[in-house]
Chains A and B, each alone.
Chain A
């Protein structure tokens, strides 16, 4: 350690350090242009000149490369130093009068005029570029020439392949002399370009060391070896010098890890289609033609334009945006993807609506489409709203020409309207709604695994085993099974987990390890003894906030027994030290001032537990994410804020009390309500996983609506498989069948339900831990199209029955008509029934198979054969099935005549009504839910306007309810085909098993509790709670008062805020605790 004087103050530095480094440490500002932490100093710019006194005389030295020595005296701001620096800056300014960095320095030193000859250079010959180039290991540029001819250049002034185009020189250049253009023009033979950010879809660059995106797990940066200069040229490693914890090791190698597993789930996802293969769209050639994925990033607040809706070429706000549907989907000719990608219609509508919300009503959004496919739950409503409320234009046409508009930014397009008219329009931006594809590496992996693929290169599955691949023990979920949206992917994912568990149920828990429990210290009656740990987080906090000052401040606060700062409070060794300190100092409350409790609270709570303290005797306050990181230019106020936050946290923690997490046993018997395909699949999955299951069906037989179905979309016979399924359910010893049974009462809650069943007047009470509602739906009975007035007018299911019965009537037909959307997509039933398009087309093909000469017409509004069901649509057209589109305000008319059924429909191409005489009309009727209010009330679940049950979360919780312990599957959720019903049944089981695999469940400690002596029994809390946690006690001492079920309470505090008597307390966020924080707001008060 070397001690010397810096501006009269005694300071210390390490042997070998330079003056500038020590000055920096002590916060003494010395200007410099040519210094960089990672490079050896060179003393080139001379701006950092200071005065050194060695006891006899004073000298001027450049502080960046002058080593310190014992006893020296350094002055950085004497009159002479300032004068000298001023002269140096003036000379630099004369050389480079236009460089902002030097202009700024000149201003600082009060230089108003230049006394020397002005030049027009931009380079100050600081040598940062050449030094960093050498450090990189490239050595492509150096200072060439002598005297006034000296400049930065490559050997012989030739572009060289020694330059990798890494751009390090440009990024360090203080004057802007070296730019990326200059590197491309004069230095390198390669093409230098930004490393495209994968997350921002190439709209932005990223660094060679990067975190893929802000929410990445694990949130740890990785080095991209393909672009890292160390791996290319052998040098650099600057990152190592900056990393405070020595975490970077360039010698790490890829590891091969061998695992023994019992099952594999394939979830590789999809690759967005690359539209540069379709050159007529001008993607890549025209900057304002973007893909939908890029557009998502443009809309995102964390995206390349900060969420501001602008187009890439000139960053202007667009006034008109067009979406082109089916780019890379439903296109056999140009891209070989003849399937429908399922998700693009919906995301295009969503993007259009969000754009309008961003940019205002005047933004013109036009979606060019073939069929609008919105067959998902609540999707049709969104589509209608987009058109009617938001004014999104929907144009049924495929655009054939895209040209750059005369302004060079906008795009001129031409398309043909349905009436044959060609229209030209100019848009500011075009979004290509690109489809989903299986990535080539996955096709290859499937080959290696021996997993069969479909014609569209998706994983082959069958309707009754929707997540099983052709290889036993290998399961699939998500878009690799077929293009699908988030809810369907989430359902699949849970289903695949259930399928794997069916196989591995016996091994459950065998590899689990139990943790040693540290006995909890009783702190009742003790006065608070608070420990405060202030984290530096390396320099993340300490670089801005004065951590020692905060620590000392904390030490002086009431009840604080101990205060310390740590370099990294979350590190393993600090955790151990903390445990020791808590024990040694007898602390009974802990405050950690560090990062965010959202990520680190559980970690520190674990430390408390290890030290024998109840984990709720803890408070964390956020001085990183919400302080040092966001106020880096205001260290003083950031420190003040940190002190305030610590004081508030200390005040709160003093009032914290140990909280109990109530333990409740879980009953491992389950119940499934509904004996259709979904219910049976769920019961079977439970049984295979070893759970006793009660299957309740209100009718006298199993099978539900599937009893009426002939074929699946992939042509499998339903009846045969259904029979097998019924048999296997009936013969399963773990499944207890309750036919002709209804539910008359339900008591209890998650893990402990008591349900009363009623069958032929007999009552039976069953106890179970979880329940799945699989109550299904029924076909709509139409009152339109003369249904019921003629035996030749059938519903889809009635036609299926005729197929099953092999009714000779259907073979003797000359023609048949299918009318779609009967009872669906109507004002009284606005949703799309999802299954009917595929069902009718499949039946049309079946009729064609039996009688190829038959004339078949399908009258539709949009054909919604999503995913690979599109092949059926294509096949039907090839086989000569005639598709005629009608509009909802001009529906087909049907007349019963002796010679046949006369259907009149207005053809969309001809624009005039045509009459078709036919022998058979099939009505594709809606799927209608049962709307069982009683059942919904029993299990405290809710239904939407259409009567379908409302799941916990439309995207992330599609197979469960907000009420814990109650799960959902099948058509009670939304209309769906067999494969999706079975997948959801397994998904619901999977969700339930996360509960049932535990012996008991624990409530959270931070829950609401009622003080019955204050409760007035008004019932507001019961009404307001979204989780049905409060109820009124019906007997005993506190009858009529409210109580809160700790297991159901999520700790939101709604009830506490609503309680008029102040009887409810939310533990951990109690009123007095929040008040204590408020009272500590201003220390001076």
Chain B
């Protein structure tokens, strides 16, 4: 992976942001291809350990969106 193409680990709520991401696709919008999405049932599912693990695995950032 090139130095300027960071990976952003993203936790998206199935009902909110994941839906928005789908709709962005349906609307053929464009955005940078740097996010890697993990679908979670609800942001309540988030555990701080996931964030730490992501960063430890070399994610350049972690994004949690409800």
Contacts and interface: CB of A to CB of B under 8 A. Distances in A.
A633 interface: yes
Contacts of A1069: 40-41, 45
Interface stretch (A556-564, A829-837, A1048-1056): A1048-1056
B33 A1053 contact: no
B40 A626 contact: no
Given A648-B38, A1085-B58, A641 B44 contact: no
A1057 B46 CA distance: 6
A839 to B, nearest CB: 42
Interface size class of B (residues with CB under 8 A): 35 or more
Interface string B24-63: 1111111111001111111011110110011001110000
B14 to A, nearest CB: 7
A1074 B21 CA distance: 19
24 contacts: A214-B27, A302-B23, A302-B27, A596-B25, A597-B39, A598-B19, A625-B25, A630-B31, A630-B33, A631-B33, A632-B28, A1051-B41, A1052-B42, A1053-B41, A1053-B44, A1057-B47, A1066-B41, A1069-B45, A1074-B40, A1078-B38, A1079-B57, A1081-B7, A1081-B9, A1081-B59
A596 B17 CA distance: 13
Instruction: Name the residue in B1, B29, B33 with the highest tally of chain A Cβ atoms < 10 Å from its Cβ.
Output: B33
A1071 interface: yes
Contacts of B29: 630
B5 interface: yes
Contact of A1075 (B14, B26, B50): B50
Given A631-B30, A632-B30, A214 B38 contact: no
A1069 B31 CA distance: 27
A629 B31 CA distance: 10
A644 interface: yes
Interface string A1043-1085: 0000000011110110000000010010100110111011011
B25 A1054 contact: no
Contacts of A1074: 38, 40, 47, 50
Contacts of A640: 1, 33
A1056 B44 CA distance: 9
A1032 interface: no
A538 to B, nearest CB: 15
Contacts of A632: 28, 30
B44 A1057 contact: yes
Contacts of A1081: 7, 9, 36, 54, 57-59
A648 B7 CA distance: 14
Contact of A598 (B7, B14, B38): B14
Contact of A629 (B14, B26, B36, B37): B26
A396 to B, nearest CB: 40
B36 A644 contact: yes
B22 interface: yes
A638 interface: yes
Contacts of A868: none
A1082 B33 contact: no
Contacts of B18: 596, 598
Contacts of A1075: 50, 53
Contacts of B47: 1056-1057, 1071, 1074
Instruction: Name the residue in B5, B9, B36, B58 with the highest tally of chain A Cβ atoms < 10 Å from its Cβ.
Output: B36
B41 A625 contact: no
B38 A1077 contact: yes
Interface string A592-631: 0000111000000000000000000000001011110111
Instruction: Name the residue in A627, A633, A634, A1053 with the highest tally of chain B Cβ atoms < 10 Å from its Cβ.
Output: A1053
Contact of B45 (A622, A634, A648, A1053): A1053
Contacts of A626: 21-22, 24-25, 37
A1056 B54 contact: no
A638 B30 CA distance: 12
A1022 interface: no
Contacts of A633: 30
A1079 B54 CA distance: 7
B36 A1006 contact: no
A343 to B, nearest CB: 26
